[in-house]
Amino acid sequence: MSVVDRQEWDVVVVGAGGAGLRAAIEARERGARTAVICKSLFGKAHTVMAEGGIAAAMANANENDNWQVHFRDTMRGGKFLNQWRMAELHAQEAPQRVWELETWGALFDRTKDGRISQRNFGGHEYPRLAHVGDRTGLELIRTLQQKIVSLQQEDHEETGDYESRLKVFQECTVTRVLKEDGRVSGVFGYERESGRFFVLEAPAVVIATGGIGKSFKVTSNSWEYTGDGHALALLAGAPLLNMEFVQFHPTGMVWPPSVKGILVTESVRGDGGVLRNSDGKRFMFDYIPDVFKEKYAETEEEGDRWYEDPDHNRRPPELLPRDEVARAINTEVKEGRGSPHGGVFLDVSTRMPAEVIKRRLPSMYHQFKELADVDITAEAMEVGPTCHYVMGGIAVESDTAAARGVPGLYAAGEVAGGMHGSNRLGGNSLSDLLVFGRRAGWHAAEYAAELAGVRPVVDDGQIDSAAAEALRPFSAEAEIEEPAGGPPENPYTLHQELQQTMNDLVGIIRREPEMEQALQKLAELRLRARRAGVEGHRQFNPGWHLALDLRNMLLVSECVARAALERTESRGGHTREDHPGMDRTWRRINLLCALTDPTGTLAATDPVRGQITLARETTEPVRADLLALFDKEELVKYLSEEELYE
């Protein structure tokens, strides 16, 4: 049996971004001894990068705002494929979560009369994003970290040990969720610095590992986004929901090549920035889809007036949901009206005085100055689409965040599916993290308490298999067994091939033959990844870490490609050139991915021999009182005849 450090906890949270920290705080406050594990340093999660703000209908900037309007915007943005109960809970609870952050010490920007300031963002009817300049995520994480430290101080006073009830294991990677009789029994992982293995035994595990962007070549995502949580769930027997929906943010940097993909926050457009093509035309007016026609300005004059008088004018089309803007930019570039480096122009310099730009968008000012030598107070930025967010994720129960099919497993944040439907509105992620992070921590703690005394036991055999799997890259040459036999492979080469495949064949615009080609390539890469070999030893060895992450990226990429091939319509973050329209019958269909044996029926745990199997599921009808929030004419655009009749 492998020698590993073992500890017992009530709840283990995998991930220390906004969702993970909020879950950990809740679980600890409800009495559960809680451990948090993260790949990076504590306080360094991807959430730190969030710029624009957190969406919550607090009605500080426009008194007409309320949770019902926020719910409507979220459902429209997601093209009605959202798990509506999640969208409802999110819209109702987001304001409380923001105020709560403030009581924990968050310092938001203020309105003139001293309330939390709220800014405009795409798809939100009213100014709704609470923000701290363009560094909102940093403040969110700082506040949650501070709250954790204060809870640890309370514990120290009572028990003499800061970490007796809440402990953070930083720079550690979880590679397996362990189970006994179908229920969660703990997690297996390794310390990134020493390479030592460890097991945390716990009846409840919350997955809060964020997204999958590192499977794509051009992305705004950080190195941590290798789809680990999605794969952990899949390997543990929990299905993934609607993985075809990947958001390409319209405005990433396109130049210089070394920084291609880095995000240019939507606040630039929210604060008045306009998009122009190489002819100087504000082209977004040509791209307002029918479903949004009534809500958006038809002329530049009306769009410009909206910034001063939103009650009597319609918003400019630069503020359409992200999927619409990304597709429009893609078309402009493809039709030869792009900027010199293959993007379009985003101009804020002609819209605001330099000092206002520097005050409202300080990170953007520095980002362009330092990385591209562009002064955004004097010239336009060049921008283009970048892989940004995954709407698909672990299928969860709306109220409890419990993952389907695996008792004891919970998921929150970007790794969880359903909340955003086919497309997320900007600002709705930070609020999602807090609303569902709290719910996941709460229900995980309750579940663990119910199991007190009869906890699942960690099986030694599972620890041995997890350790053998993690060590395989050190003996890649010995891997001659079918079906994966062949020479060792370089994990970096495999990663590059994967990123190129996903970018070129399952990217922003999708076509059937290309996705079939992608699936063939992914199958080949999955076999070759089995032989991903590394040299050296387990002490901080990034090649080894990547070799292990590849398993996750490949599984998740296959889910994206399979689901994208199956869904023969275009909706939100999924655009099929061969099926350009939104099809109302598809609104009723969720696609679930599972890892199964070759018969497609039994759950599998082997990432090479297991196969991704797709199943269709009918979505739950939207509750009548929620449907009543929309005009009938609008519903006709989304719902099927059958649903309308019902």
Out of 106, 430, 525, 592, the only residue in the binding site for ligand FAD (CB under 6 A) is 430
Taking CB under 6 A as the rule, does residue 202 contact ligand FAD?
no
Q: How far apart are CA 232 and CA 109, in angstroms?
A: 38
Q: Which residue has the tokens 């009597």?
A: 312
3-state secondary structure (DSSP) of residue 169: strand
Out of 78, 210, 392, 572, the only residue in the binding site for ligand FAD (CB under 6 A) is 210
* CB 169 to ligand FAD: min, Å: 8
Out of 9, 10, 15, 569, the only residue in the binding site for ligand FAD (CB under 6 A) is 15
* 252 backbone dihedrals φ, ψ, rounded to 5°: -110, 160
Q: Which of these segments, 12-20, 103-111, 442-450, 628-636, binds ligand FAD (CB under 6 A)?
A: 12-20
Between 95 and 137, CB nearer to ligand FAD? 137
Q: Which of these segments, 203-211, 351-359, 484-492, 598-606, binds ligand FAD (CB under 6 A)?
A: 203-211
Between 49 and 445, CB nearer to ligand FAD? 49
Between 51 and 332, CB nearer to ligand FAD? 51
* CB 64 to ligand FAD: min, Å: 22
Q: How far apart are CA 98 and CA 538, in angstroms?
A: 42
Q: How far apart are CA 457 and CA 179, in angstroms?
A: 8
Q: Name every residue whose Cβ is closer than 8 Å to that of residue 385 and which is 6 or more positions away in sequence.
A: 218, 248, 249, 250, 251, 252, 326, 329, 330, 508
Between 194 and 520, CB nearer to ligand FAD? 194
Q: How far apart are CA 244 and CA 572, in angstroms?
A: 10
Cα torsion at 303, 70, 404, 23 (round to 10°)? 110
| Subset of residues 255 to 274 that bind ligand FAD, contact rule: CB under 6 A | 263
Residue 322 designated active-site: yes
Q: How far apart are CA 181 and CA 423, in angstroms?
A: 36
* CB 643 to ligand FAD: min, Å: 30
| Subset of residues 71 to 110 that bind ligand FAD, contact rule: CB under 6 A | none
Q: How far apart are CA 56 and CA 91, in angstroms?
A: 7
Applying CB under 6 A, what is the total number of residues that bind ligand FAD? Answer: 42
Are the beta carbons of 252 and 386 closer than 8 angstroms? yes
Between 19 and 319, CB nearer to ligand FAD? 19
Between 208 and 297, CB nearer to ligand FAD? 208
Taking CB under 6 A as the rule, does residue 136 contact ligand FAD?
yes
Per DSSP, the chain holds a count of helices (H) and strands (E) of 18, 20
Taking CB under 6 A as the rule, does residue 16 contact ligand FAD?
yes
Exactly one of 30, 33, 192, 322 is catalytic; name it.
322
Taking CB under 6 A as the rule, does residue 139 contact ligand FAD?
no
Amino acid sitting at position 361: L
The string over 19-31, giving b where at least 16 C-beta atoms fall within 10 Å of a residue's C-beta and e elsewhere, is: bbbbbbbbbbbbe
Taking CB under 6 A as the rule, does residue 433 contact ligand FAD?
yes
Between 15 and 473, CB nearer to ligand FAD? 15
Q: How far apart are CA 477 and CA 378, in angstroms?
A: 57
Q: Are strands 197-201 and 5-8 parallel, antiparallel or unpaired?
A: parallel
* CB 16 to ligand FAD: min, Å: 4
* CB 97 to ligand FAD: min, Å: 12
Between 53 and 514, CB nearer to ligand FAD? 53
Taking CB under 6 A as the rule, does residue 137 contact ligand FAD?
yes
| Subset of residues 530 to 569 that bind ligand FAD, contact rule: CB under 6 A | none
Q: How far apart are CA 178 and CA 16, in angstroms?
A: 20
The single-letter DSSP state of residue 190 is E
**The dihedral of CA 130, 132, 135, 139: what is its sign?**
negative
Between 411 and 561, CB nearer to ligand FAD? 411
The contact mask relative to ligand FAD for 490-519 (x = CB under 6 A, - = no) is ------------------------------
Q: How far apart are CA 249 and CA 291, in angstroms?
A: 20
| Subset of residues 18 to 77 that bind ligand FAD, contact rule: CB under 6 A | 18-20, 37-40, 45-47, 49-54
Q: Name every residue whose Cβ is closer than 8 Å to that of residue 373 and which is 6 or more positions away in sequence.
A: none
Q: Which of these segments, 218-226, 333-341, 460-468, 474-482, binds ligand FAD (CB under 6 A)?
A: 218-226
Are the beta carbons of 202 and 167 closer than 8 angstroms? no
Q: Residue 14, Cα to own-chain centre: how many angstroms? A: 15
Residue of minimal CB distance from ligand FAD?
17
* CB 135 to ligand FAD: min, Å: 10
Taking CB under 6 A as the rule, does residue 643 contact ligand FAD?
no
Out of 429, 462, 499, 575, the only residue in the binding site for ligand FAD (CB under 6 A) is 429
* CB 589 to ligand FAD: min, Å: 25
Q: How far apart are CA 140 and CA 447, in angstroms?
A: 27
The single-letter DSSP state of residue 623 is P
Concatenate the DSSP letters of all residues of 295-333 into one string. Answer: GB-SSHHHHHHHHH-TTTSPBPGGGS-HHHHHHHHHHHH
* CB 433 to ligand FAD: min, Å: 5
Q: Report the interface residues with ligand FAD, using CB under 6 A.
A: 14-20, 37-40, 45-47, 49-54, 136-137, 173-174, 208-210, 220-221, 224, 228, 263, 389, 413-415, 426-430, 433
Active site residues: 322
